[in-house]
Amino acid sequence: MSNINELLKTNFKHISFDIWMTLLRSNPEFLYHRTILTRDYFEINQPLEVIAKTINEINQNYNLQNELSETHTHFEIILNQIIGTLKNKNIDIESSLNSTFYKEWELLFLHYPPLFINPETPKIIDSLYSQGKTISLLSNTTLIKGRSLHNYFENIGIANFINFEIYSDECLHYKPSPKIFEQLISKVPQIQTQQIAHTGDSFIADYLGAQRANITGILFQPF
């Protein structure tokens, strides 16, 4: 599937969406400003390009690691790894400092919000909801917590059409774990599994993960 408006033609009663690279992509302005925040907050004496590359590489490594283990690694652990790598020493950031830093990080995220891959996404979700389908979000998270994504969807009004959200940092299971999909199924007990579809851009995490849980996986390939 290359466009989520194709879901309007289906007979599924519940549709679950992955978020990153299915509905949304990161705002380049956020990526730039989070690099500056990281440099200034932790007094890192490295070029911005090095900091940005380190953040991206460690984030991707944890995503792959989490997919293999099917368990979630918290933001704080990933941040420790990022700062430790940039400062070339072992780091154990205090929880209070970690919490304060994430608040600044989240403010940047909401100030430079993510971009829809398809600008028509809000209208499409509205139309799916109007068809009587129930809708959920089911997403792995690493550097952006589920609560921040929820706040974003609240801000733009899409939360009104979302029946529930499941995030890996809240349930501690990571796609493609069957356990995270079982949580999805348990939240719509009135709907048979063959009438539930999950769509996402990852063949392993989304498509195979859904199939393993005996619901329909729809692979989303926008590019």
- Least Cα distance to 109 among 24, 191, 171, 182 occurs for 24
> What is the residue extent of each domain of the chain?
4-25+115-219, 28-111
Counting every residue written for the chain, the total comes to: 223
Q: What is the pTM of this model?
A: 0.95
**Which CATH number does 4-25+115-219 carry?**
3.40.50.1000
Q: Which amino acid is at 125?
A: I
Q: Do 166 and 83 contact (CB within 8 A), yes or no?
A: no
Q: Residue 94: its pLDDT value, please?
A: 78
Helix axes 48-69, 28-41, angle to 10 degrees: 100
Q: Do 73 and 65 contact (CB within 8 A), yes or no?
A: yes
Q: Residue 56: its pLDDT value, please?
A: 98
pLDDT digits (tens, 9 = 90+) for 160-184: 999 999 999 999 999 999 999 999 9
- For residues 193-221, b (16+ Cβ closer than 10 Å) or e, as one string? eebbbbbbbbeebbbebbeebebbbbbbe
What mean pLDDT is predicted for residues 59-83? 97
Q: What is the mean pLDDT of the chain?
A: 95
What mean pLDDT is predicted for residues 66-81? 96
Asked if pLDDT for residue 223 goes beyond 90, the answer is no
Asked if pLDDT for residue 207 goes beyond 70, the answer is yes
Asked if pLDDT for residue 191 goes beyond 90, the answer is yes
What mean pLDDT is predicted for residues 69-82? 96
The count of other CB atoms within 10 Å of the CB of residue 11 is: 8
pLDDT digits (tens, 9 = 90+) for 6-65: 998 999 999 999 999 999 999 999 999 999 999 999 999 999 999 999 999 999 999 999
pLDDT digits (tens, 9 = 90+) for 113-146: 999 999 999 999 999 999 999 999 999 999 999 9
Q: Residue 222: its pLDDT value, please?
A: 74
User: Which pLDDT band holds residue 2 (cuts at 50, 70, 90)?
Assistant: confident
DSSP code of residue 70: T
- Least Cα distance to 27 among 101, 107, 108 occurs for 108
Find the DSSP H helices in the chain. 28-41, 48-69, 75-87, 95-111, 121-130, 146-156, 168-171, 178-186, 209-212
Asked if pLDDT for residue 3 goes beyond 90, the answer is no
